[in-house]
Amino acid sequence: MVRTVYSPEYCLQYLEQYASQESFVLGLILGQITDARENIIHLARTPEEKSTDTGSESSYTSEKTECVRNLLGVSEAWVADHAKHVTRMLPGGMFVQGIFITSDEDVFEDPNHFSKIKTILNFTHKILSSNPHMFGNYPHSNERLILHMSTSTKVLTCKSMEVGSGKTTSIKPVEWKFLPKPQQWQRLDCYYEFDDIYPIIVKKSGISVKQQFQQILEAAHKTIQSSVMFIDGELKDGSDALEQLIKKKRPKNSTKAQDVPKSMHVSLFVPFESSLPETVEYLECDGSIHFSGVVSSSVFMYPKATVSEAIAAVKQDIIRSLASRFTMHCDALIDDNLLPEEKVCFNEPPRRVLVPVGALYLCDYLFPGEAPAEALLSVKELLDLQITENDVVCDVETPADTSEFDALDRDASSEELLATPQEASQFMYITGICFAMFVLIVSILIHYYDAIAQFMGKLLTRS
């Protein structure tokens, strides 16, 4: 059975625009795969390669560009870097599904060009798979799309190849269909609240901010994966299609699409662990990190997708958003030392904003003090789109209010500092020295166990 993908009509116009210029262009194919259908949402041209002296990952800010005139001159590392930045902007359930090319050469028949395509796709797959929380967890098979438009004949050809297998690569034909009407999407909104304290344990070899955040991300991933998802306050059957839920929500005697609610509200409930541990160990820590606030999540699903697929997309979106913020925040830090000299250090990771792409929204992240104009630069550079400041939705998350922390005395106790309430839409973390407080809590738990044990022993003796 031939693989079929669907994309909006403007993707064809986008390809023809570059093909008519008779210039070589390479870019990314962005989309979503469900059991019901595979949808392409956007084609994003990879920017001209930029050279820097540092060779850092964030080289997109450089002004010096190197024009690549054919496929053989493309750097696979540069394409993979573009895929990493773009994936951060994708909501859960959406991925980089392959590459597109406009050129005069037949990239499928020329062995040198096809070998280059294999190198690009395999290297990009390797880089993205190295961080599954942010870039990986690609659904279904490891087949990636290759879309080619000839600049001379304007003929469009799409094929797929498997990546990461290490075996002989075989290419398969793919049927690409353009939709004259905009694709319908079902939006699911979720606000996941964080109010957790994580211990900081500094070993002899030391620990960096990135290392600690990775441990926190693993813990958050485990918690979110174990949670139960309710849609509009109800627990749904995982095999049900989202469109079935939409029909139930539509008012009776109404067939108008505008009568359907624009979005579904999603709530994640973490199961309560009723069983206490049999033994409690002392944990000597050097400090703590307090995460407080809410991560905003907006996921767009094909209406025929199942509830299970929607659940996976929402959970993935929250984890991907956390991983993106952690990485961006760590890259912006001057000092990688986890414990500051001050007793308490307030940090605000970048907040999420939404940017329109066709009939749905992708996202970007703004650091404190940055204006929506910063998002316009990312959208232009990474997605090859022109939008205005009014198009950027900035109210899904609000900046944290730091006024209360600015007024606090640095010598105040950690217990007082961690008791400050925060607005639901803020997301931040606080690091501080809390060894005494943590040991006190553990001591109380052990004392509680001893008291219960003595009480049960007396009851057994009397009986």
- Decide: 71 and 107 in contact? Cβ < 8 Å: yes
- Cα–Cα distance, 245 to 305 (Å, whole number): 11
Task: Give me the pLDDT at residue 387, please.
Answer: 94
The architecture CATH gives domain 3-179: 3-Layer(aba) Sandwich (3.40)
pLDDT value at residue 446 = 54
Mean pLDDT per 10-residue segment, the chain (463 residues): 92 94 93 95 92 49 61 94 96 96 92 94 94 84 93 94 79 94 93 86 71 88 93 93 83 54 86 63 76 91 96 96 91 68 75 93 93 93 95 88 59 41 54 49 54 55 53
Other C-beta atoms closer than 10 Å to the C-beta of 119 total 13
* Residues forming CATH 3.40.140.10 domain(s) in the chain: 3-179
CA distance 353 to 340: 30
**By three-state DSSP, how is residue 207 classified?**
coil
User: Per residue in 158-215, pLDDT tens?
Assistant: 999 999 877 667 889 999 999 998 889 999 999 998 888 888 877 666 667 788 888 8
pTM score, two decimals?
0.83
Q: State the DSSP code for 213.
A: H
Report the distance separating Cα 112 and Cα 69, nearest Å.
15
pLDDT given for residue 262 in this prediction: 77
* pLDDT computed for residue 272 by the predictor: 74
- The answer to whether the CB of 50 falls within 8 A of the CB of 60 is yes
